[in-house]
């Protein structure tokens, strides 16, 4: 249909001269985004990081757990661009494989936001009553405390449960957790808190949107509740959700790194950036580069995701405020 309209519009020369190129919300946002230099640089970095994570096994010069005690604690050499750690493991390879863990955490965070936060916010805002009370009280209570405090308590519990010999579903979960080197526990603990802000955000959006005329109109022509939620309310509250989800990614990556740093997250020898930093702290007096490289990579990654979030927020709605 759109193409036929365009065809008829370009049919007359005058129409073509007057007509602006079609601009949707998304193409407008993309144009604004491209003008934001920090956001573009950050986007490029994130794409590179994603490529590095996907291709880690192909481009990493060594396996992440390969030890070579004869070449321990090296600085930058030709064989080891970023040097080696106290066990002679190649730092560049460990950083590359570590990016997989960080990005997986980021992706799971977004999935939880989309699959739990958005639906709960939609339902609470749309139906109100007891659903609203239950969901929002839970959100209020959980949000009243620092994320990390809750995550630490929950992951302690999860690790103890999953490590124990179990039967049935728990045994499968425990096996999966062991297989993933403790990642599963991190995912669950992070998932518990990562949907909160978005649920509250979507609820607020729905509360104001559902009083608008277009929803009334949709209802009048016989649209069902589900259709109104999915086809009308959801698309209209998508912009702030995208922004909030983008800001959630660095939060989740930082929390995973923090947990692993404390020894509560991913288990060695898996090279989570948090573990690399913890190992770097141990040898920072003699070999500061073992701390500096992972710390810098983590910091740059988090900063880039935040700039990306800023850029998206300014591009999607200059008046929007999400923090």
Partner 1 sequence: MTTYILRRVLWMIPSLLVVFTLTFIVVHATPGGPWDESEKPLPPAVKANLDRQYHLDDPLPKQYVDYLAGAVRGDFGPSYRNVERSVSDIVGATLPVSLQLGAASMLFALVVGIPLGVLAAMRQNTWVDFVASLVTVSGISTPPFVRVTLLIVVFSLALPWLPTGGWEGLGDVRLIIPMVAIGTGPAAILARYTRSSLLEVLPQDFLRTARAKGLAEQAVVLRHALKNALIPVVTVAGVTLANVITGAFFVERIYGVPGIGRQFVDSVSGRDYPLLLGIVLVFALLISVVNLLVDVSYGFLDPRIRYR
Could you tell me what percentage of the chain is helix, strand and coil, using 3-state DSSP and rounding each to the nearest 5? 75, 0, 25
Note whether 292 binds partner 1 by CB under 8 A. yes
Residue 95, interface with partner 1 (CB under 8 A)? no
Shorter beta-carbon distance to partner 1: residue 38 or 119: 38
- The interface with partner 1 within residues 37-56 (CB under 8 A) comprises 38
Among 56, 66, 223, 302, binds partner 1 (CB under 8 A): 302
The answer to the question of residue 312 lying near partner 1 (CB under 8 A) is no
Task: Mark residue 111 as left, alpha or beta (left: phi above 0; alpha: psi -120 to 50; beta: remaining).
Answer: alpha
In the block, tokens 């994603």 appear at 50
State which of residues 5, 59, 160, 172 lies at the interface with partner 1 (CB under 8 A): 160
CB of 299 to partner 1, least distance (A): 5
Binding flag, residue 214, partner 1 (CB under 8 A): no
Burial of 128 (0-12, 13-18, 19+ CB in 10 A): middle
Q: Smallest gap, in angstroms, from Cβ of residue 110 to partner 1? A: 17
Segment near partner 1 (CB under 8 A); pick from 27-35, 124-132, 177-185, 290-298:
290-298
264 binds partner 1 (CB under 8 A): yes
Closest residue by Cα to residue 182 from 115, 256, 235: 256
Q: Is 22 in the site for partner 1 (CB under 8 A)?
A: no
Instruction: Work out which of 82, 183, 298, 316 binds partner 1, going by CB under 8 A.
Output: 298
Q: Which is nearer to partner 1, 102 or 209 (CB)?
A: 102
CA 220, CA 157: separation in Å to the nearest integer? 50
Select from 29, 45, 26 the least CA-distant residue to 303.
45
185 touches 155 (CB < 8 A): yes
Which among 79, 80, 110 is positioned nearest to 95, based on CA atoms? Answer: 80
From the list 6-14, 44-52, 57-65, 138-146, the region that binds partner 1 by CB under 8 A is: 138-146
146 lines the binding site for partner 1 (CB under 8 A)? yes
Q: Does 258 bind partner 1 (CB under 8 A)?
A: yes
Interaction of residue 7 with partner 1, rule CB under 8 A:
no
Q: Which long-range contacts (CB under 8 A, 24 or more apart) does 241-245 make?
A: 241/113, 241/114, 241/118, 241/198, 241/201, 241/202, 242/312, 242/316, 243/309, 243/312, 243/313, 243/316, 243/320, 243/322, 244/113, 244/197, 244/198, 244/201, 244/322, 245/109, 245/110, 245/113, 245/114, 245/198
> x/- binding map, residues 218-257, to partner 1, per CB under 8 A?
--------------------------------x---x--x
If one asks whether residue 262 binds partner 1 (CB under 8 A), the answer comes out as yes
148 near partner 1 (CB under 8 A): yes
Nearest CA to 183 out of 259, 249, 117, 71 is that of 259
Which residues contribute to the site for partner 1 (CB under 8 A)?
Answer: 38, 141, 144-149, 152-154, 156-157, 160-161, 164, 250, 254, 257-258, 261-264, 277, 280-281, 284-285, 288, 291-292, 295, 298-299, 302-303, 305-307, 310, 321, 323
């Amino acid at each position: 249909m759109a193409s036929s309209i365009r065809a008829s519009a370009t049919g007359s020369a005058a129409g073509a001269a007057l007509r602006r190129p079609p601009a949707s919300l998304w193409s407008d946002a993309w144009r604004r985004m491209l003008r934001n230099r920090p956001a573009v640089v950050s986007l490029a970095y994130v794409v590179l990081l994603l490529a590095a994570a996907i291709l880690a096994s192909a481009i990493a010069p060594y396996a992440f757990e390969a030890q070579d005690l004869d070449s321990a604690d090296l600085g930058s050499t030709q064989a080891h661009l970023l040097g080696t750690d106290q066990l002679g493991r190649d730092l560049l390879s460990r950083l590359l494989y570590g990016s997989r863990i960080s990005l997986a955490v980021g992706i799971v965070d977004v999935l939880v936001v989309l699959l739990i936060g958005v639906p709960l916010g939609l339902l609470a805002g749309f139906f109100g009553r007891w659903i609203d009370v239950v969901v929002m009280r839970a959100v209020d209570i959980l949000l009243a405390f620092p994320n990390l405090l809750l995550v630490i308590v929950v992951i302690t519990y999860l690790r103890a449960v999953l490590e124990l010999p179990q039967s049935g579903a728990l045994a499968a979960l425990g096996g999966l957790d062991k297989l993933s080197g403790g990642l599963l526990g991190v995912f669950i603990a992070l998932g518990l808190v990562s949907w909160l802000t978005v649920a509250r955000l979507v609820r607020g959006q729905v509360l104001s949107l559902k009083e608008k005329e277009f929803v009334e109109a949709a209802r009048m022509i016989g649209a069902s509740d589900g259709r109104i939620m999915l086809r009308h309310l959801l698309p209209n509250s998508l912009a702030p959700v995208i922004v909030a989800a983008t800001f959630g990614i660095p939060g989740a990556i930082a929390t995973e790194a923090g947990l692993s740093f404390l020894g509560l997250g991913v288990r060695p020898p898996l090279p989570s950036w948090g573990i690399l930093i913890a190992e770097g702290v141990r040898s920072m007096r003699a070999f500061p580069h073992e701390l500096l490289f992972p710390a810098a990579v983590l910091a740059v990654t988090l900063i880039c995701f935040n700039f990306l979030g800023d850029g998206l927020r300014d591009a999607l709605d200059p008046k929007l405020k999400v923090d």
